[in-house]
Amino acid sequence: MLLTAQRVQNPAGLEGINAFCNLHGPYDWFGEPPAGIPDTNPGMRVNDNVIVPPGGNRVRSYLDIVAPDETPTTEILAAVRRFVMAVRTDSLPWAATVGRCTFRFGLDLGLEQQWATEFQELLEAALRVRSPV
């Protein structure tokens, strides 16, 4: 599963969070995601919430969550807490694997002071589009 949430801004200034859920089907998952997930194998889109239509948008922030399709939300949330505690003193962007979940988070310099709020908003948007398996 790939959950992606992105705060995007179109050339006219319209801004919003677009979120997507892609599934990958059965894979053997040993710590790291299988080769190619998510960069060359984003999976099959099964749900989304698009606020700002695609085309010429600037991505101001993003959160990617990669985990086996059947991963319960409780497992994702527990891994998120561990992820943030492990990387929050590092410079952005952040990327790490915690258990069966891999996270990537980054944002514009103009949003760095409010990273926690931005992270929470992206996380909520990503989890809202999550499809039950």
In 31-112, which residue ranges form alpha helices assigned H by DSSP?
Answer: 73-87
Q: How far apart are CA 94 and CA 84, in angstroms?
A: 9
| Confidence label for 97 from pLDDT (cuts 50, 70 and 90) | very high
- Say whether pLDDT at 121 is over 90: yes
The mean predicted confidence, pLDDT, of the chain is: 93
- Say whether pLDDT at 28 is over 90: no
Instruction: Locate the domains of the chain by residue range.
Output: 2-128
Q: How far apart are CA 116 and CA 29, in angstroms?
A: 29
Nearest to 70 by CA among 125, 20, 28: 28
The 10s digit of each residue's pLDDT in 44-88 is 999 999 999 998 999 999 999 999 999 999 999 999 999 999 998
Specify the pLDDT at position 78: 98
